[in-house]
Structure 1
């Protein structure tokens, strides 16, 4: 079984949408940028306002706003990242329940539920740290 790690929005302007949702949801705020992150962005020619991935934290799951240019009709614009401790086993369990695998990456697997909605199975933070 997994737990919701993040709710992910594909969007055009992540910083603007993150600020909107942070203002809408009680107890949520845009994740602070430390000096190292600001320097990393600057090296890429970016700022917190042009960051292609902005996170909002609060009492529930984090909300991730990621830049995706152009609307793809084969991809839902909002999806869950579900954290699991044993991704291969969880993939098999969900395949038997009617899901399908879209693609497998080093730390997560993109899947579709029985009606075609995408979600990601993400390795637990502990597994990624190991």
Structure 2
């Protein structure tokens, strides 16, 4: 089986979404991209790389795209406790809907993702098509 190497999140504004997804995933922006974000020097098609320094988690690329569908650009399932949920909301996420076993949230550009409580993450909560 192939290993998952990276997740790509297409967006309109990498300056907005790179810091958001860095905070939400806990993956730091790589040094070169952090400098470009700080001085506004990203090229028009240049992606921003979020990378786990230990190399244990997949990379996340925040990549600008001209044509974005209204849904389906990404879908991540994240696991977190109440404090982490509050931090995600404080970073700019919004609640789309509350379900019995998880919450559907949206990032600042409307990409939806799910947040499951830690107790559900190892249960059968990850159902196809949610």
TM-score range, shorter chain: 0.3 to 0.5
- TM-score normalized by the length of structure 1: 0.42
| Greater RCO (Cα-Cα under 8 Å, separation 6 or more) | 1
Q: Which has the larger radius of gyration?
A: 1
- TM-score normalized by the length of structure 2: 0.42
